[in-house]
Structures are given as structure tokens and as C-alpha cells.
Amino acid sequence: WEDVVAYGEDAVMIRNKQAVRKTDADDIQYTYLLGKNKLKDLDVLTEDGTMLGKVTDVYFDQEMGNTILGLEISDGFVSDLIEGRKWLPCTTEMSIGENAVMVPPMSEQRLEKAINSVNG
């Protein structure tokens, strides 16, 4: 992140071409869209088995580097149209597995509160 000068909706601006480095795929813990350990479309499940939806986007804090702040979650096309997508803040209790993001049982209530605070 030290070579990233700015980023926006359409582009990431880096200091110079020397900032581009080749990395072995096995060294990358998680990616959003491509690669062995991608986050997009992973199921989000509570530890007691409740499906909250699928990861549709990941939110980062510009000042915290690659720290994930929260996940945008879709519960399906119709639900997205009627209720909108949901946002779940990340916690230390979350874990990312091969097939799902596991979250504490209380996450469903936190998700509903986030929807209400965002949508009014």
C-alpha cells in the first residue's frame, strides 16, 4: 500500500511503474474477484447455520491499508430490489473458509440494524 497514491471508483493510482510487483498466487491470502481464494460470491453463514447471503463487495479503509471494514451481502436479485443489499461490519470473530465466511450468530441482528441505519 505504500506505493498507492490514490484510489477511486474507476482506478488505483500508483507512484510509478516500479511499484508493480509480480507475486506468486500462493502468497496472496485473499482476493476479491480472481484467484484461488476469492471472496466474491462466498456464502456468508452464521455459526448456527443461518445463511445471510453471498459476498458481493468488500469495503476497505483507505488509511488502514488492506484491512477489510465490511462486506456487502446479497440475499438474491429479488431481495436486492425490494430491500437493497445488506452491509455487515467485519469483526474479529469472523473467519474466512474455503467455501464460506463464518460469522457469529448475533451477526444477523447486526445486519438488520445496519440496513435500518443505512436505509433510514
Domain locations in the chain as residue ranges = 32-119
pLDDT in tens, 25-49: 555 555 554 455 677 888 999 999 9
The partner residues of 9 in beta bridges, in order of sequence, read none
- How high is the pLDDT of residue 17? 84
What is the average per-residue pLDDT within 1-8? 73
d(CA 12, CA 6): 6
Q: How far apart are the first and last CA of the chain?
A: 35
Whether 9 shows a pLDDT value over 50: the answer reads yes
Per-residue pLDDT tens for 60-99? 776 666 677 888 898 888 887 777 788 888 888 888 888 8
Q: Domain 32-119: which topology?
A: Photosynthetic Reaction Center; Chain H, domain 2 (3.90.50)
**pLDDT band per the 50, 70, 90 thresholds, residue 118:** very low
Listing DSSP states for the chain in one string gives -TTEEEE-SS-EEES-GGG-----GGG---BSSSSTTB-TT-EEEETTS-EEEEEEEEEE-GGGTT-EEEEEEE--HHHHHHH--EEEE--TT-EE-SSEEEE-TTHHHHHHHHHHHHH-
